Amino acid sequence: MDEPLNADELAAVQARADAATPGPWNSLFRSKGISIESIDGSRQVALVEPTFGAGNMDTNAVFIAHAREDVPRLLATVAAMREIVRAVAGLTLWSDLPVMDARALLGMVEPAQTDEAGQ
C-alpha cells in the first residue's frame, strides 16, 4: 500500500487541481483519438491518442475526464476526515461526544443509517 499523503503533498495536489482547466470534463471519440473536453465542448483539455500496447485507451480517457471532479471531491473528503480526527482526538471516551455531534460526524463518513422508526 502506498504511504498516506502529508500536508505538503495534499497542498500540491490541491494546487494542481486548482490550476487545471475548469470542469466538468467529458471524453469523446475523435478521428485522432479520444478527446478530453470541457463538458460544453468549448475547450479541449487533452487528447488520448491510440498507441500500441499503451493500455485501455477508452477507460484511461474516462478516468482522466472524471479526475477533474473526482480529485477535488477526494481532497474535500480528506479534509473532512482530518476534521473528524481532530474532533475525536481530544476525547477520552466516545461518550464525551454528544449524540447529535457523533451522528453528524458519521454522516460525513458514510450514508445516514436509520432504523425502522426513522431514527
Structural domain includes residue 76: yes
**pLDDT: which is higher, 29 or 118:** 29
What is the pLDDT averaged over residues 35-59?
82
Q: Is the residue at 66 inside a domain?
A: yes
* Domain assignment of residue 2, yes or no: no
The domain of 57 spans: 7-109
pLDDT in the model for residue 99: 52
Count structural domains, the chain. 1
The Cα–Cα gap between 1 and 28 comes to 33
Give a yes or no: residue 119 inside a domain: no
Yes or no: say if 29 and 62 are a contact pair by the CB < 8 Å rule.
Answer: no
Does the structure show a pLDDT above 80 at 88?
no
Q: Give me the mean pLDDT over the 89-94 stretch.
A: 64
List, as one string, the DSSP characters of 32-97: TEEEEEETTSS-EEEEE---TTS--HHHHHHHHHHHHHHHHHHHHHHHHHHHHHHHHHT-SSGGGS
- Residue 35: strand pairing partners: 28, 47
The stretch 10-35 carries a mean pLDDT of: 91
Whether the pLDDT of residue 68 is over 90: the answer is yes
C-beta of residue 43 within 8 angstroms of C-beta of residue 26: no
97 occurs within a structural domain: yes
